[in-house]
Amino acid sequence: MKKIYLNRFFSTAYYLIEWLKRGGFYVIASGVSDSTVYKNIADEYFVEDNLSGVEERGIVDYYTLVLNEHKPDAFLPYSNLETIVRHKADIERDTGVKIIADDFSVVGATFAKSGTYTRLKNLCPEFIPPYFIAETRAEFENAVREISEYARPCFKFDTDIGAGSFRVIDDVFFAVDEFPPPLPNLKTTYNAALKGYNGERVIVMPYMSEPEISVDCLRTPNGNIIIPRVKRGGRIEQIGYDREIMLAAKKILGSFRPEYPFNIQFRFFKDELKLLEINPRLSGSSHISAQAGNVNIPAIAARKALDLPVRYEGKFDMHEKFFSYVEMPVDVTDKPNTNTEYKKRV
Ligand SMILES: Nc1ncnc2c1ncn2[C@@H]1O[C@H](COP(=O)(O)OP(=O)(O)O)[C@@H](O)[C@H]1O
Ligand SMILES: [Mg+2]
C-alpha cells in the first residue's frame, strides 16, 4: 500500500484523507497539536514542530528529516508550500519521496497575487481586475484615492494566505446610525488603515461584492477536471458549470499547465469575471468538489506523482448541485497509534 504524507492543513483535511484512503492509500498526517481533528482519520499522525520564524533552509531540512523518518511514497504539502515547491528537486533527491505539487518554474508566480496578474496580463488581460501595489505611504494613499473614485477600496498583503490581512476600507460604515450597529466584520476606516501602515507590500483593489467562485482543477491525461463552486452565502455552495467560468479556468490552466491540483478564485465585478488569486494546491473545500463531481481528485493527483495509472476515464458528474455541511463531532482524546514521541528537530 502506497503511503501519502500530508503536513499541516485545514481541519477539512479530514475529508481529503478520507478520499485518499478510499483511493487505496495509507495516510500519514501531521498537525499543530495533539487534538488536531484529522488525526482520527489518518493512519498515522504526529505533531509538527512549530516552524514559524524558521528560515527557508531550516524548513527544508525539517521536512527532509520528517520524510526520511516516516518514509512515505509521496508528500502532499499545504503549509510551507512555497518553500517546499522552491526546493522540490532537492527534497525529492534527498528523500526519494515524490512531492504532489508543481515545480517552482510552473507555479512560482502564483505565490504573490501580483505575480499571478503579471504572469497572465498578456494572455488574459480580461480577467485581471484593477489593482495597485503599494509599498509606501504615498502609494497606499494614491491607490485608495484612485479606487475610491469608482468603488470601495480593499487591501491585503500581496503574499497572504487564508484571508489574514484582507480589509475593506469603509468610512461610511462607521457613520451609520443603526442600532445595534452592524458588526464591523473585516472593515476598517481609511485613517485607521493609514495609522498602522508601515510600508508593507499590499495589493489595493476595488471590493468586488459578488459571491466568490472557487474553481478546483486538475489536469489529467484524460482531460481537465474543472469544478467551479460558488459560495452562495451561509453554508451553501453551488456547484455549476457556467460556460464563461469553465472557459476562463481552461484558459488559465492552459497557460500554467500544472500537473497537480490548482485552485482558481474569481469574482464578478461589474458583470465581468475577474481573477482574485490562484493557489497551486487543493483548496480547503476541494472535498466538496470531489463529492459533487464524484471524482477522487486527491487520489488522482497522488497517482500522477507516483507514476501509477490514473484511474480517471475523463468524466466527472457535471450536474448542477447545491451543497451544505454540518459540523461533525470527533473525539480527539489521545489514541494509541498517535506518535506523540516525535522529537523536536528545529
Ligand atoms: N477584491 C476583493 N473583493 C472582494 N473580496 C475580496 C477581494 N480580495 C479579497 N477578498 C476576500 O478576501 C479573501 C482572501 O483573499 P484572497 O485574494 O483569496 O487571498 P488569500 O486567500 O490568499 O488570503 C477572499 O476569499 C475574499 O473573500
Ligand atoms: Mg484565497
**Residue range 41-79, pLDDT digits in tens:** 999 999 999 999 999 999 999 999 999 999 999 999 999
Q: Do the first three CATH levels of 107-114+210-323 and 130-206 match, i.e. the same topology? A: no
Q: From 31, 110, 72, 107, select the one nearest 305 (Cα to Cα).
A: 72
The radius of gyration of the chain's CA atoms, rounded to the nearest angstrom, is: 21
pLDDT per residue over 226-270, tens digit each? 999 999 999 999 999 999 999 999 999 999 999 999 999 999 999
CB atoms within 10 A of CB 308: 15
Distance 289 CA to ligand 1 centre (A): 20
266, β-bridge pairs: 213, 275
Axis-axis angle for helices 88-95, 56-70 (nearest 10)? 30
208 lines ligand 1 (CB under 6 A): yes
**Ligand 1, pocket-test mutation among 166, 168, 274, most atoms within 8 A of CB:** 166
**Ligand 1, pocket-test mutation among 147, 165, 276, most atoms within 8 A of CB:** 276
Axis-axis angle for helices 13-22, 286-293 (nearest 10)? 40
Buried-exposed string 233-243: b where 16+ CB fall within 10 A, e elsewhere: eeeebbbbeee
Distance 141 CA to ligand 1 centre (A): 20
**Alpha carbon nearest to ligand 1 atom 14, residue:** 163
Q: For the chain, give every domain's residue range.
A: 3-100, 107-114+210-323, 130-206
Q: From 129, 120, 108, select the one nearest 280 (Cα to Cα).
A: 108
**Alpha carbon nearest to ligand 1 atom 25, residue:** 163
190 lines ligand 1 (CB under 6 A): no
Sequence-distant (≥ 6) Cβ neighbours of residue 92 within 8 angstroms: 98, 99
Q: From 216, 245, 202, 217, select the one nearest 114 (Cα to Cα).
A: 202
Architecture label for domain 130-206:
2-Layer Sandwich (3.30)
Distance 161 CA to ligand 2 centre (A): 6
212 lines ligand 1 (CB under 6 A): yes
CATH number corresponding to 107-114+210-323? 3.30.470.20
Residue 178: per-residue pLDDT:
78
Q: Enter the DSSP assignment of 40.
A: G
For 307, the grid coordinates are 507514476
CATH number corresponding to 3-100? 3.40.50.720
Residue 279: per-residue pLDDT:
97
Please identify every stretch of the chain with a pLDDT value under 70, giving residue numbers as ranges. Answer: 335-346
* Ligand 1 atom having least distance to the Cα of 165: 23
**CA 340-341-346 angle, 5° bins:** 100
160 lines ligand 1 (CB under 6 A): yes
Which runs of consecutive H residues, i.e. helices, occur in the chain? 13-22, 56-70, 81-86, 88-95, 104-107, 113-120, 137-148, 190-196, 243-256, 286-293, 297-305
Distance 37 CA to ligand 1 centre (A): 26
**Alpha carbon nearest to ligand 1 atom 8, residue:** 276
Residue 340: per-residue pLDDT:
45
**Alpha carbon nearest to ligand 1 atom 10, residue:** 166
Q: From 135, 134, 117, select the one nearest 126 (Cα to Cα).
A: 117
Amino acid at 225: I
- Determine contact, residues 5/74, Cβ cutoff 8 Å: yes
Axis-axis angle for helices 297-305, 286-293 (nearest 10)? 100
163 lines ligand 1 (CB under 6 A): yes
For 327, the grid coordinates are 459540523
Residue 335: per-residue pLDDT:
62
SS3 127: helix
**Ligand 1, pocket-test mutation among 156, 167, 207, most atoms within 8 A of CB:** 156
For 124, the grid coordinates are 488574459
* Beta strands at 26-31 and 74-76: parallel, antiparallel or unpaired: unpaired
Average predicted confidence (pLDDT) for the chain: 93
* Ligand 1 atom having least distance to the Cα of 164: 23
Distance 166 CA to ligand 1 centre (A): 6
- Tell me the Ramachandran region of residue 191: left when phi exceeds 0, alpha when psi lies from -120 to 50, beta otherwise: alpha
166 lines ligand 1 (CB under 6 A): yes
Residue 336: per-residue pLDDT:
55
Q: From 87, 88, 108, select the one nearest 98 (Cα to Cα).
A: 88
156 lines ligand 1 (CB under 6 A): yes
Q: What is the DSSP string of 181-211?
A: PPP-TTEE-HHHHHHH--S--EEEEE---SP
- Determine contact, residues 92/22, Cβ cutoff 8 Å: no
pTM over 0.85: yes
